[in-house]
Amino acid sequence: MAERLLDVRHLHTSFFTHLGEVKAIRDVSFHVDKSEIIGIVGESGSGKSVTSLSVMGLLAYPGKVTEGEILFKGEDLLKKKKREMRKIQGNQISMIFQDPMTSLNPLFTIGNQITEVLHTHKKMGKAEANERAVEMLRMVGIPSPEKRVRSYPHEFSGGMRQRAMIAMALSSEPDLLIADEPTTALDVTIQAQVLALMKELNERLGTATILITHNLGCASSICDRILVMYGGKIMEEGTTEEIFYEPRHPYTMGLLNSVPKVNGEQSKQRLVPILGTPPDMLHPPTGCPFYPRCKFAVKACASMDVPEFQLSGTHRVSCFMCHPDAPVKEEYEKQKGGIRHV
């Protein structure tokens, strides 16, 4: 069995706003093994970014983890002091963000912002850090890195900036990289390049990666396992194959139906949207957060907390449709094939 790197257990994170407590994440558990890539997929407001910020210890006021454990190499990050966390941030766990245009400080050179990490965490001298920065830029595929290391962020294109962000994040050789929507702000072709780069670096350096995205396609292209989040809860977790070919949660099915198909007969069909809107997290529905939009909802969905059904060693689903006594619905059965069903 692979070594456990990160183990998040029953995490609850809330934002204490003047309107009341917004429960952004409710009882989220997942793990990341060494060197694997997992994807966290969900629409806006599903809690995927909050999950990553909670792990990083970067929740800004008024956000707070209210319950749970985040075990990183067996140690609970939530029990660490700020100073101890700083030794982990950027060193053992690195993070890259959605918008590379605004995530780099405009007043400092790319090189400066990379070497800063090395000075802080690796106690490297100037020359050594600079050399390493050049090497990192070369590794992420930036042409003539000796020159580019002295460039400012505004002299880079969006894709190059995200590459520079990745170089910065990986320069300290972290065990875990959290990529929060790293390709959302990029062109589609650049998206593919950045994802390919992340996959390549994962294979080369063995850095475990959490890819947070709202795009199932992105996740499928590089992830070993996928978590589907909705309304602050994990709806379904499985290997990429399980999620795509054996989805069991109606929300996952809905997401798959809303992905455009590019070839064959399917490409001529209209996309099927998921009707309704995401839940108001200030007053989240009891029971399953998805039931108001769910075609297969039964009474229990609205009133009871949905238990998790373990379907295989890697596949778990929070849906009553997976209960042995659940009513058989033809349409649900039909969609069990995932993207194969159509």
Helices (H) and strands (E) counted in the chain, each on its own, are 12, 12
Contact call for residue 177 and other proteins (CB under 8 A): no
Q: Which is nearer to other proteins, 97 or 296 (CB)?
A: 97
Residue 97-136 contact track with other proteins, rule CB under 8 A, x = bound: x-x--xxxxxxxx------xx--xx---------------
Number of residues located near other proteins, criterion CB under 8 A:
30
- Residue 292 is encoded by which pair of tokens? 């108001």
To 10 degrees, what angle do helices 126-139 and 110-122 make?
A: 120
Strands in 63-72's sheet, in edge-to-edge order, are 20-33, 4-17, 63-72, 75-76
Footprint of other proteins on 197-226 (CB under 8 A): none
Nearer to other proteins, 165 or 339 (CB): 165
Q: Is 152 in the site for other proteins (CB under 8 A)?
A: yes
133 burial type by CB count under 10 A (0-12 exposed, 13-18 middle, 19+ buried): buried
**Nearer to other proteins by C-beta: 53 or 339?**
53
Structure tokens at 340: 């194969």
Among 322, 61, 36, 76, which residue's Cα sits nearest to residue 206? 36
Nearest to 168 by CA among 123, 127, 101, 115: 115
3-state secondary structure of 228: strand
Pick 168 or 201: Cβ nearer other proteins: 168
Q: Does 149 bind other proteins (CB under 8 A)?
A: no
59 binds other proteins (CB under 8 A): no
- In the block, tokens 């505004």 appear at 154
Considering only 41, 50, 165, 274, the residue that binds other proteins (CB under 8 A) is 165
**Smallest gap from residue 104 Cβ to other proteins (A):** 6
Among 58, 272, 275, 304, binds other proteins (CB under 8 A): 58
Stretch that binds other proteins, among 20-28, 90-98, 232-240, 282-290 (CB under 8 A): 90-98
CA distance 169 to 4: 21
Q: Which residue in 39, 45, 90, 250 binds other proteins (CB under 8 A)? A: 90
* The residue type at 170: L
- The region, left, alpha or beta by phi > 0 then psi within -120 to 50, assigned to residue 216 is alpha
Binding site for other proteins (CB under 8 A): 56, 58, 60, 85-91, 94-95, 97, 99, 102-109, 116-117, 120-121, 152, 154, 165, 168
